[in-house]
Chain A
Amino acid sequence: GNSVTQMEGPVTLSEEAFLTINCTYTATGYPSLFWYVQYPGEGLQLLLKATKADDKGSNKGFEATYRKETTSFHLEKGSVQVSDSAVYFCALSDRGSSNTGKLIFGQGTTLQVKP
């Protein structure tokens, strides 16, 4: 079945450090891939997306590239800020037979950025 694996957290960085959160997936069909961010006490916000191989999603300084050959969608940011502290979820939506829009989430990675 479809699945998403994220690197274990928590990740603790100093402000202005480089961020990488690894995400790999297993899927039948041709999934769309997403990164969602959840700030404390809030719902999930879409951070970025990619719908086909080699697409690069980007938003607010974050980037991720859809790599079909390595089945990966790693999240990167060149210089993190304290305000980036949150939980980050990698997710896929299978474009295959079910077409229900069901999201398969990774376990989430908690990022803490210290001043």
Chain B
Amino acid sequence: DTEVTQTPKHLVMGMTNKKSLKCEQHMGHRAMYWYKQKAKKPPELMFVYSYEKLSINESVPSRFSPECPNSSLLNLHLHALQPEDSALYLCASTAGGWTEAFFGQGTRLTVV
């Protein structure tokens, strides 16, 4: 199984809402990532978790809050987002620092 599963696939939220994105993998990978992708651009790294600990935060605003409850799950909690935060949010996982990343299908987020 080389699948990374993300839910929901689509999300529309108001600027005062709180929502969460979820990501799950069962490949035994110990590194998990959140990327943000705007239209016609490459993905931009937001957070890296290694062995369930946050190892990289790419200066992401605090309205995005990641959480790694266990080695298979990764959440991204959203609060007080802005319309410019509308994007495709991609989760990925790897077995090690130089191996290939497996991506989920993404969550298409629209902030209204």
Q: Residues on A close to B: CB < 8 A?
A: 31-32, 34, 36, 41-46, 49, 51, 89, 93-95, 98-103, 105-108, 110
Chain B interface residue count, CB cutoff 8 Å, equals: 29
Shortest C-beta distance, A70 to chain B (Å), equals 21
A108 touches B103 (CB 8 A): no
Within 8 A of A (CB), among B73-102: 88, 90, 92, 94, 96-102
Residues on B with beta carbons closer than 8 Å to the beta carbon of A44: 43, 90, 92, 103
9 tightest A-B contacts by CB? A99-B97, A105-B42, A95-B98, A44-B103, A101-B94, A43-B103, A43-B105, A43-B106, A101-B97
Shortest C-beta distance, B51 to chain A (Å), equals 12
- When C-beta atoms are compared, the residue in chain B nearest to A30 turns out to be B98
> Would you call the interface of chain B mostly helix, strand, loop, or mixed?
strand
CB contact between B97 and one of A41, A46, A95 (< 8 Å): that residue = A95
Residues on A with beta carbons closer than 8 Å to the beta carbon of B56: 100, 102
Shortest C-beta distance, A15 to chain B (Å), equals 24
New contact pairs (16) apart from A89-B42, A93-B100, A101-B96, CB-CB < 8 Å: A32-B98, A41-B108, A43-B4, A43-B105, A43-B106, A46-B100, A98-B97, A99-B96, A99-B97, A100-B56, A101-B33, A101-B101, A103-B101, A106-B42, A108-B41, A110-B40
